Amino acid sequence: MASNLDYLNPDLQPLVEKVEAYLAAKEDLRKLHVAERNEATHDAAVAQSAAEFEQRPPTGSFDQHADELALQHQDAQDAVDKLSQDILALLSTRDEWVKVNLGYGPSRVGAWRVPNAQDSQAEHYEIRVVM
């Protein structure tokens, strides 16, 4: 019976914290991706609003919304990449599931080798989480 409770091991807590942060960062990245796709709609709404009130932008001003989204997207991608490396360092095995406690009972996290078409010598691992 003890093997069914291995996911409650306190030694796995650093891995659990990294996986939770990784999942949150992936969600942020997904939301930013949606926001970037809706950028044209945002620009049209801003233009329509400006036309309705006949306001001119202050001299020297420009729309920074797209630039801010691009910077946020890059920051989120960097965070996901860093957390992926941290998780890889904490995982004891590759191509196998490790049971962890993400608050939903035994969840699983693992790293699987992904073939790299550009460089067959370099190994690339994909983090997978099952809750």
Per residue in 94-111, pLDDT (tens digit) is 999 999 888 877 889 999
Residue 2 placed within a domain: no
The residue length of the chain stands at 131
What domain range is 112 assigned to?
8-130
- Does the residue 1 lie in any domain? no
CA distance 110 to 101: 13
User: Based on the structure, what is the number of domains in the chain?
Assistant: 1
Order of strands, edge to edge, in the sheet holding 124-130? 98-101, 106-114, 124-130
Task: Write out pLDDT tens, residues 29-77.
Answer: 999 888 888 776 766 676 666 666 666 666 666 667 778 888 999 999 9
